[in-house]
Structure 1
Amino acid sequence: MLQTMRNKIKGLVAIFLIGLLVIPLALLGIENLFYKNPYAPDDVAEVNGQKITEREVQLALQSERQRLQTQFGTNVPTQLLSDESLRGPVLDRLIHRALIADVAEKGNMTLLDKEIDEIIVKLPDFQVEGKFDSDRFVNLIRSIGYSPATFRAMMRKDMVVNQMKNALLMTDFVTDQEIERAVVLSRQTRDFEWITLALGDLPESMLVSDDEVNEYYESNKQDYLSEEQVAIEYLELRVDQLEKDVTVSDDEVRAQYEQELDSLSKPTEREVAHIMIEGNDDAAQAKMLEVQEKLAAGEDFATLAAKYSDDFGSRDNGGHLGVSTGDVFPAEFEQALLDLKEGDVSEPIVVDDATHFIKLLTLNAYETPSFEKERLRITAELKRIKAEEKFVSDIEILKDLAYNAENLEEVGIELNLPVNKTALFSRSGAKDVILQDSRVLEAAFSDRVVKDGFSSEVLELSTDNSAMVIKMIEHKPVRTLTLEEKKKDITGELKLEKAKARLTEQAVSIRESLDNGTSLSALSEEKGLSLSTQVAAKRHAAGVPQELLNHLFAMPHPDDDQGRIDELSLDNGDYVIVNLTKVTSGDIENLTDDERKSLKTNLASSLAGDEYQAWQSMLREEANVEVYNTETSAL
Structure 2
Amino acid sequence: MLQAIRDGVKGWIAWVVIGLIALPFVFMGGYDYFTGGTDRDAVVAKVGGEEIVRHELNRAVEQRRMQLREMFGGDLPEGAFDEGAMRREALQGLIDERLLHKFVADQNLRVSDEEVARTIRNQQIFHEGGQFSRDRYRTLLNQNRLTPEEYEEMVRQDLLVGQFEDVMRRSSFVASGMAERYLKLDREQRSFEYLELTAELFKDEVEITESELESYYEEHKDEYMAPEAVKLAYIEVREDELDDAAKIDNMANVAFERPESLEPAAEEVGADIRYSDWITQEGESDGLAQHSAIVSAAFSEDVLEYGYNSDLIEVSGGHFFVVRKAEHREAEPRPLSDVEQEVREQLRLERALDLARQEAEDLIASVEEDAEQLSSFAERVGAELFAVDGARRSDVSHPQSVVREAFRLGEGGVGKVELDNATVAVVRLAEVEPGDPDGVEDQELRQVQRDIEQMTSRADMQAFMRALRDDVSVKINEQRL
TM-score by length of 2: 0.65
The answer on whether the counterparts of 1:80 and 1:86 sit within 8 Å (CA) in structure 2 is: no
**Aligned equivalent of 1:611, options 444, 460, 463:** 460
Question: Which structure would you say has the larger RCO, counting Cα contacts within 8 Å and 6 or more residues apart?
Answer: 1
Structure 1 residue 52, shift from structure 2 partner: 1.1
What is the alpha-carbon distance in structure 2 between the residues aligned to residue 232 and residue 91 of structure 1? Answer: 36
What is the alpha-carbon distance in structure 2 between the residues aligned to residue 191 and residue 72 of structure 1? Answer: 40
What is the alpha-carbon distance in structure 2 between the residues aligned to residue 141 and residue 496 of structure 1? Answer: 63
SS of aligned partner of 2:62:
helix
Q: 1:343 aligns to what? A: none
What is the alpha-carbon distance in structure 1 between the residues aligned to residue 212 and residue 172 of structure 2? Answer: 60
Q: 1:517 aligns to what? A: 370
- Give runs of aligned pairs for residues 53-72 of structure 1, distance below 5 A: 53-72=53-72
Q: 1:577 aligns to what? A: 426
Distance 1:74 1:495, change over 3 A: farther
SS of aligned partner of 1:92:
helix
Q: 1:194 aligns to what? A: 194
What is the alpha-carbon distance in structure 2 between the residues aligned to residue 217 and residue 171 of structure 1? Answer: 57
Structure 1 residue 616, shift from structure 2 partner: 0.5
The answer on whether the counterparts of 2:198 and 2:353 sit within 8 Å (CA) in structure 1 is: no
SS of aligned partner of 1:176:
coil
What is the alpha-carbon distance in structure 1 between the residues aligned to residue 433 and residue 448 of structure 2? Answer: 20
**Aligned equivalent of 1:593, options 426, 435, 442:** 442
SS of aligned partner of 2:333:
coil
What is the alpha-carbon distance in structure 1 between the residues aligned to residue 230 and residue 165 of structure 2? Answer: 45
SS of aligned partner of 1:46:
strand
What is the alpha-carbon distance in structure 1 between the residues aligned to residue 125 and residue 337 of structure 2? Answer: 59
Structure 1 residue 435, shift from structure 2 partner: 9.2
Q: 1:490 aligns to what? A: 343
What do the CA deviations read for 1:448-484 (whole angstroms, capped 9, x no partner)? x83xx498xxxxxxxxxxxxxx997754334333225
Distance 1:50 1:443, change over 3 A: farther
What do the CA deviations read for 1:508-542 (whole angstroms, capped 9, x no partner)? 56446435536134444555544333343211225
Amino acid at match of 1:479: E
The answer on whether the counterparts of 1:229 and 1:427 sit within 8 Å (CA) in structure 2 is: no
In the alignment of these two chains, the number of paired residues is 400
Structure 1 residue 206, shift from structure 2 partner: 8.4
Q: 2:42 aligns to what? A: 42
- Whether 1:547 and 2:401 are equivalent positions in the alignment is yes
RMSD of aligned Cα (Å): 4.9
What is the alpha-carbon distance in structure 1 between the residues aligned to residue 49 and residue 458 of structure 2? Answer: 27
Q: 1:175 aligns to what? A: 175
What is the alpha-carbon distance in structure 2 between the residues aligned to residue 472 and residue 42 of structure 1? Answer: 30
Distance 1:197 1:83, change over 3 A: closer
What do the CA deviations read for 1:195-249 (whole angstroms, capped 9, x no partner)? 233567987998878776544323322554455567999xxxxxxxxxxxxxxxx
Distance 1:46 1:490, change over 3 A: same
The answer on whether the counterparts of 1:197 and 1:575 sit within 8 Å (CA) in structure 2 is: yes
What is the alpha-carbon distance in structure 2 between the residues aligned to residue 134 and residue 436 of structure 1? Answer: 46
Q: 1:536 aligns to what? A: 390
Distance 1:111 1:58, change over 3 A: farther
Structure 1 residue 553, shift from structure 2 partner: 1.6
What do the CA deviations read for 1:563-591 (whole angstroms, capped 9, x no partner)? 22222221133332221123344345444
The answer on whether the counterparts of 1:184 and 1:585 sit within 8 Å (CA) in structure 2 is: yes
What do the CA deviations read for 1:161-210 (whole angstroms, capped 9, x no partner)? 33322331233232225445434434333232222335679879988787
| Same amino acid, percent of matched pairs | 23
The answer on whether the counterparts of 2:46 and 2:52 sit within 8 Å (CA) in structure 1 is: yes
What is the alpha-carbon distance in structure 2 between the residues aligned to residue 115 and residue 436 of structure 1? Answer: 49
Q: 2:79 aligns to what? A: 79
Q: Over alpha carbons, which structure has the higher Rg?
A: 1
TM-score by length of 1: 0.51
Amino acid at match of 1:51: E
Q: 1:476 aligns to what? A: 329
SS of aligned partner of 1:78:
coil
What is the alpha-carbon distance in structure 1 between the residues aligned to residue 453 and residue 211 of structure 2? Answer: 61
The answer on whether the counterparts of 2:29 and 2:55 sit within 8 Å (CA) in structure 1 is: no
Distance 1:160 1:433, change over 3 A: farther
The answer on whether the counterparts of 1:187 and 1:587 sit within 8 Å (CA) in structure 2 is: yes
The answer on whether the counterparts of 1:45 and 1:625 sit within 8 Å (CA) in structure 2 is: yes
Gaps of 5+ in 1: 1-27, 29-33, 234-397, 413-421, 456-469
Gaps of 5+ in 2: 1-19, 21-26, 31-37, 234-252, 266-275, 309-322
SS of aligned partner of 1:191:
strand
Distance 1:90 1:586, change over 3 A: same
What is the alpha-carbon distance in structure 2 between the residues aligned to residue 632 and residue 188 of structure 1? Answer: 51
Amino acid at match of 1:552: A
Structure 1 residue 57, shift from structure 2 partner: 0.2
Q: 2:318 aligns to what? A: none
What is the alpha-carbon distance in structure 2 between the residues aligned to residue 209 and residue 444 of structure 1? Answer: 48
**Aligned equivalent of 1:630, options 470, 478, 481:** 478
Distance 1:61 1:112, change over 3 A: farther
